[in-house]
Amino acid sequence: MEGQDENKQQEKVHKRRIHYSGRYPRHFAEKYKELNPEKYGEEIAHVRAKGNTPAGTHIPIMVEEILAILAIKPGERGFDATLGYGGHTMAMLEKLEGRGHLYGGDVDPIESAKTEARIRAKGYGPEIWERRLMNFCEIDKLVEEAGPFDFVLADLGVSSMQIDNPERGFTYKSDGPLDLRLNQQAGISAADRLREMTQAELVGMMQENADEPYAEEIARQIVRAEKRRPIRTTRELYAVIEAALEKVRLQRGADGRQPDRRDVIRKSSARVFQALRIDVNHEYEVLYEFMEKLPFALAPGGRAAILTFHSGEDRIVKKAFKAFHQQGIYQDIARDVIRPSREECYNNSRAHSTKLRWAIRVE
C-alpha cells in the first residue's frame, strides 16, 4: 500500500512553469499561456476582444467572404494551400459536414504539426482531412494523386505564431536570430543571405519586394555594418536601419507634413524584414508557379480564393487571373479587390492590409 501511495504522489508532481522577474514575462519562452494557448480560453478571449491577436495563436481573416466565394458543398474535394493555424481549414471542414475531403498544405513542419494535433482533437480523421508538408506551388503533384479540386484557398500571409516567436526572426520588435525562413530545415537564413548580397542587389530587393523609399541609404549602411561584423540578429538589423535613417532628409507626406522619424524607422524596418522574408523564401517565384498551375488543378466549375497582404503579391494574382480569364480558362474572376470590413479590421489589426481575389474555372 505504501508503494502505491508513493507512486500516486509522484504522478501528482508536475513541473512548475519558469519564474521571471517583474510582474509580466519579458521573453517568449517564459510566456506559458502563449506557448500553450488552448488551456487559457478566457485570457485568449479577453485579448481578442481588445482587437489583438494572442501570441501563439492566429485569427483567420475574411472567413465569411471566403466561404461565400468557395460555396463549399458536402462531398466536395478541396485544398487549403497554406494551412497555418488552421482557422480557415476548420471553417471549410464544417461546410463539408463530414462528407468529402480536404487537404492542408504547409512548408512549416513545426507549426503545421501543432495545427494537425488541434484539428485531430476536434474529431477530424484522415478520412476527411490530411496534412501535407509541401510548398503550395507543388499543387500539380497533389492533383496527380488526389484528382482536381472543387475549391482551393491560398492565404499568403505569415501566420501570427511565426511572427510572435522571436526564434523565427520574422520581426524587428523582439531580439532573435535573423532567420525568416518558413521552413528552417531548408535554404539559408536571412543573416547568411545578407552577407552574400551586393549593395545594388540589396537596393533592388528592398524596392521590388517592399517599395522601400530609403532602400539606397539602408543598403549602404548594411554593407558598412557587414564589413565590420556580420549582422546575426533581428535587433542588430533594426539598429542598422535606425542608423541609416537617423540623419536622412525625410520625404514629406502627401499632405506636405514632415513625418515623425521614429515612425519612418518603424515602417522602413517592417518593409525591410518583409523584403528579406520574400527573398529568403523565394515567395514571388513560388507564387508565380502556383498561379500558373492553379487553373489546371481545379475541376470544371472549381472555385479559387487568394488572400494577399502587399501590392507585389496582389499584382501577380491579378495578372494571372486576368490572363487565364482572357484565354477562356476561367469563366469568371473578381473585377475588383475585396477588402475586410471596418469591423474586422477593428477586431483584428493584422487584417488591415488584406486583399481578396477569386476565380472560377470554366465548366
Whether the predicted pLDDT of 332 surpasses 70: yes
- Cross-strand pairs, 307: 155, 356
**Is 350 a residue whose pLDDT tops 90?**
no
Ramachandran sector of residue 174 (left: φ over 0; alpha: ψ -120 to 50; beta: rest): beta
- Identify the pLDDT of residue 194: 95
User: Counting beta carbons within 10 angstroms of the beta carbon of residue 357, is it exposed (0 to 12), middle (13 to 18) or buried (19 or more)?
Assistant: buried
- Cα torsion angle, 321, 323, 326, 330, sign: negative
Q: What angle do the packed helices 283-297 and 311-326 form, to 10 degrees? A: 30
- Enter the DSSP assignment of 18: P
Mean pLDDT of 13-40: 47
Q: What is the pTM of this model?
A: 0.79
Mean pLDDT for all residues in the chain: 86
Hey, what's the torsion of the CAs at 168, 58, 139, 321, to 10 degrees? Answer: -110
Give the model's pLDDT for residue 58: 63
Domains and CATH numbers, the chain: 17-57 (no CATH), 63-160+284-361 (3.40.50.150), 183-279 (1.10.150)
pLDDT, one tens digit per residue, over 119-163 is 999 999 999 999 999 999 999 999 999 999 999 999 998 776 667
Residues of the chain with pLDDT > 70, as a percent, come to 83
